[in-house]
Amino acid sequence: MSQHVLIAGGGIVGCLTAMELVSRGCQVTIVERNQIASQTSGESSWAGAGIMFPLLPWMYSDHVNTLTSNGAGRYKEICERLFKETGIDPQMLNSGFLLLPSFDRAAALAWCTRYQVTTEEAQASDFGVQSTSGEDALWLPQVNQVRPPCLMHALRTWLEKHKVRLLERTELMPLPAEITKLTSWRTTKGELLEADCFIVTSGAWSFELLKEVASKLQVKPMRGQIVLYKPERNPGAVIYREGFYLVPRRDGYLLAGSTLEDVGFDHSTTDAVREEICAKAEALMPELKGLPIIKHWSGLRPGTPENLPVIGPHPGVENLFLNTGHFRYGLTMGPASASLIAALVCNEQPWTDPAPFSLPQ
């Protein structure tokens, strides 16, 4: 009989994990306290910008880069499959990435050579944006983006078609301290959900669920806000300058963001941040001044030290696995970490050594 896996949380990490498990013949249930693929109370996946590239990869460890590079590399096949099987286009786009000064050029070039990422010297004016520096920009033509709400919608539809049980508006209770083997998980309504194994993909809320059984798990919410424009012209590439980016979509919308705010589970948007984002966006593209803000939203990232997620079994609780803490790059890392956890759950050879991602003891 096939293994029944219960996934706690229906963001990008939970949905991609479910997809991998279905492909391995598992029976899967996703438990989500809100609604999968919708913008609800602060979840990260809908809110993300969808850039398939870390900001900036040479600032991170090899372990982070292993996950982001592998994850980004899997998206083309996933998006094609989702489109073919659901008719919903996740809008993966090869928009490239323009890196404006100032940045550590030597580190950038060394990293790009090592990871075989093509670079070209470029000017901000080639893309119709303003630079405050006389230095050249760096153009990375291979960088892709995906549109998170479309990706999530396609994933949800794919999972439904493949008979994954989506238990929405169902909230799981934190696990009790004394537990050593998990065979069922209690919901806030008192129902006991049984499965052969359980994977925590609860994003920023993971520590709340696990603090009694994983006191060293360091996952905390880190808010990010994004502002949406619809200019007459857009730069046609992701533009990045000193922690700030513009992301053009295929239909002309332009995202500007984002912030990194340590404000707990407060997922509101603020006027002060909107003004800050608008000022940075207008400095890059003066014609944005005076345009209406189409939308302004926030999401709570699952923040972790060094941006390193935890992917693997809980060493003290049988049948419990974690796939959480992807912080700023859960969309990029998602396919890589989903494949890794699915292999571990199914006792298969994983694509990489899971040791660097194990739960801190």
Ligand X SMILES: Cc1cc2nc3c(=O)[nH]c(=O)nc-3n(C[C@H](O)[C@H](O)[C@H](O)COP(=O)(O)OP(=O)(O)OC[C@H]3O[C@@H](n4cnc5c(N)ncnc54)[C@H](O)[C@@H]3O)c2cc1C
Which residues sit at the interface with ligand X, rule CB under 6 A? 8-14, 31-34, 43-45, 47-51, 171-172, 201-205, 209, 224, 226, 257-258, 299, 301-302, 324, 326-332
Q: How many CB atoms lie within 10 A of CB 19?
A: 23
What burial class does residue 244 get, using C-beta atoms within 10 Å of its C-beta: 0-12 exposed, 13-18 middle, 19+ buried?
buried
Give the type of residue at 227: V
Q: What is residue 161's DSSP assignment? A: H
Nearest approach, Cβ of residue 138 and ligand X (Å): 18
Give the residue with the Cβ less far from ligand X, 225 or 287: 225
Nearest approach, Cβ of residue 203 and ligand X (Å): 3
Nearest approach, Cβ of residue 1 and ligand X (Å): 26
Return the H-helix or E-strand segment holding 100: strand 97-100
Nearest approach, Cβ of residue 155 and ligand X (Å): 11
Which own/partner contact pairs does 81-85 have at CB distance under 8 Å and 24+ positions apart? Answer: 81/158, 82/151, 82/154, 82/155, 82/158, 83/154, 85/158, 85/161
Give the type of residue at 4: H
Nearest approach, Cβ of residue 216 and ligand X (Å): 19
Give the type of residue at 302: P
Give the residue with the Cβ less far from ligand X, 91 or 324: 324
Q: What DSSP letter does each residue of 226-292 carry, written as one string?
A: EEEE--SS--SSEEEETTEEEEE-TTS-EEEE---B--TT-----HHHHHHHHHHHHHH-GGGTTPP
Give the residue with the Cβ less far from ligand X, 26 or 273: 273
Give the residue with the Cβ less far from ligand X, 74 or 349: 74
Alpha helices by DSSP H, listed for the chain, are 12-23, 62-86, 105-114, 148-161, 206-210, 271-284, 330-345
Give the residue with the Cβ less far from ligand X, 234 or 324: 324
Nearest approach, Cβ of residue 67 and ligand X (Å): 10
Nearest approach, Cβ of residue 56 and ligand X (Å): 13
Give the residue with the Cβ less far from ligand X, 13 or 195: 13
Q: In angstroms, how far is CA 193 from the centroid of its own chain?
A: 27
Give the residue with the Cβ less far from ligand X, 35 or 123: 35
